[in-house]
Amino acid sequence: MIIKKCVDSQILKNIIYYEGSSRENIVIFYEKNVGLYPYLKYINSIHNEYFNGGIPQNTNISVYIFKLRQDISKKIPNPDFDGIAVINVEEWRPTHDSN
């Protein structure tokens, strides 16, 4: 099996894939379907909206793990799935204007 490194700065960053795999072997999880992932949404210069506690320290980890397992089972119902699962949580990307 040949392994290549895929570098696509727009969508899939530094993801290892297997040559010959098809798109059916890739599942992408976003904020809304990866448990109760905490994040902040910028509203304006003085206000951010908090989702699921906003930061990991404010999250109930037991509830998060329970929901994460449900979400994974829903998106990948086959226990023999041998493709790639990508967690793409763009709400946690660095934004210099909010630092």
User: Which is the catalytic residue, given 19, 31, 49, 90?
Assistant: 90
In angstroms, rounded to a whole number, what is the distance separating the alpha carbons of residues 93 and 46? 19
Q: What stretches of the chain adopt beta strand conformation (E)?
A: 3-6, 15-18, 26-29, 39-44, 47-51, 84-87
31 belongs to the catalytic site? no
Active site residues: 90
